[in-house]
Chains A and B, each alone.
Chain A
Amino acid sequence: MPVIKYIQPNGQAVEFEVPLGSSVMQGAMDNMVEGIVAECGGACSCATCQVYVDPAWMEIVGPACDFEQDMLSAASDVRSNSRLSCQIEITPELHGLIVSMPG
């Protein structure tokens, strides 16, 4: 099972195995990682699950779809490596992925 590393707003890093087919958001919810809200439960509707993808992983994670980009462009504290974590599906290639949560 891929291991995802979450850096919480207080700087503390935690690592969890997240099942294939799940999402980076769901992995955070399952393990009660602090820093994301995920109000809509993964419907790409609220932008409350924003994470910053470690720059080294940006290419592997891939780009956001148009709808997600539109959501992000209007969200707060957006950076060039922002993604909505509900839209990052866990694949074998993501083993070791590092994301940090907005403060």
Chain B
Amino acid sequence: MPQLPCIIIGASHAAAQLAPSLRQEGWDGPILVVGDESFIPYHRPPLSKAYLLGEKTVDELLIRPADAYGRHGIEFRLGVRVESIDRQAKTLTLASGEELAYAKLAICTGTRVRTVNLPGSELAGVHYLRNIEDIDRIRQVVRPQGRAVIVGGGYIGLETAAVLNQLGMQVTVLEMADRVLARVTAPQVSAFFQRVHEQEGVSIQTAVAVSGFAGDGRVERVLCADGRLFAADLVIIGVGVVPNVELAAQAGLATDNGILVDACARTADPDIVAVGDCTLHPSPYYGFIRLESVPNATEQAKSAAAALCGKDKPYAALPWFWSDQYDVKLQIAGLNQGYDQVVVRGDREVGRSFCAFYLKQGKLIAADCVNRPQEFMFSKRLITENIEVNAQQLADEDIQLKSLLVPVDAALPLN
């Protein structure tokens, strides 16, 4: 009888790492990736950057070409949705009704965009941004001098605003909070990004609630609760994502704001792991967290591959993120949740190069580094090595962060 496969649900960043890692860990049975999009795994971050800008083709987005998977016996079923998991029978049911038996299962279902239910939100010209086809549709509407309104001033919204601006559109960003990036950065960093966008010609409106969309057949105006109207040929809604936990929950696996897994990406079912944006997992630095992050999906996939082969390789990497807007490269080390102090290094009010360090009880927990690759790299180490730092040192450009890496004990005898 042929060996049953390891099935990976979701042709994602996680799958692109998990499948080859399974081979490296010794899985010699079949590997089947089932994805509801029509593409093999592709890089998602460039969608709101180089792909929207037209600098990259679909082939250039692919994490690996198709034949690389073929050589390792990794098969794909694309454009196929999994409807349910039967853990007792160890089968999946597809939308077509077809059943697939598995030996091991990896749930890499990711997230989906949070949608809004406002009058007119179904109008043509109102878009979300998550996958290749979304961008292809948006690109058909992009034209110089056209008016684009972005709903949501998070990273996706701001990256998209930057690209549409570069493509010659008149761009307005509408943010409900009183500053952009309110959920993820300190006010100092929000103010920086607002300044940069305004310098580039993007209009940023904060503390504004969108109440609906209007137009004759396609969107022409965005309506706000305070009575304001914004003319629009294109609307992009970027108000966050929600994890796809339903398949796991319906199969009786523990879920909350994510599928609950341990440090090795295991669910409570010994034959099932979950990886990537859809998981709620323990971090040695921050407790249980759910991340929207490519590096997280990649690193967690390695742990999951080992777990499926009966090995313990706990995942303990520090979260990190990046965002490219205009000539600004933002690199974020760690998560700033619960910070009690922000220290700025460099001038955030002039130019485009500075860092914001987030401290909690005297320890560095995160750093937003704007065009500061060295500080980013050293911040990662200061955080992971749990080194005590003080605000004066961090703020002083004459003190290299590298010098702070010396263990505290060794650095003490100064006099």
A residues sitting closer than 8 Å to B (CB atoms) are 29-32, 34, 37, 39-47, 67, 70-71, 73-75
Contacts and interface: CB of A to CB of B under 8 A. Distances in A.
B326 to A, nearest CB: 15
Interface residues of B, number: 26
A41 B329 contact: no
A40 B68 contact: no
Contacts of A32: 20, 64, 68, 72
- What is the interface of chain A mostly: helix, strand, loop, or mixed? loop
A24 B377 CA distance: 22
- What is the interface of chain B mostly: helix, strand, loop, or mixed? helix
Nearest to B378: A74
Contacts of A45: 322, 329, 331
A71 B377 contact: yes
Interface of B: 20, 24, 43, 45-46, 63-65, 68, 72, 294-295, 298-299, 320, 322, 324, 329, 331, 371, 373-374, 376-378, 402
Contact of B46 (A34, A37, A39, A41): A41
B402 A30 contact: no
A41 B373 contact: no
B68 to A, nearest CB: 5
B64 A74 contact: no
B64 A70 contact: no
Nearest to B317: A39
A39 B331 contact: no
Q: Top 9 A-B pairs ranked by shortest CB distance?
A: A74-B377, A70-B373, A39-B295, A45-B322, A71-B373, A41-B43, A74-B374, A70-B374, A30-B68
Contact of B322 (A43, A67, A73): A43
A39 B294 contact: yes
Contacts of B331: 45
Contact of A40 (B72, B294, B299, B371): B294
27 contacts: A29-B63, A29-B64, A34-B24, A39-B298, A39-B299, A40-B45, A40-B294, A40-B295, A41-B43, A41-B46, A41-B294, A42-B43, A43-B45, A43-B46, A43-B322, A43-B324, A45-B322, A45-B329, A46-B322, A67-B329, A67-B371, A67-B373, A70-B374, A71-B377, A73-B374, A74-B376, A75-B377
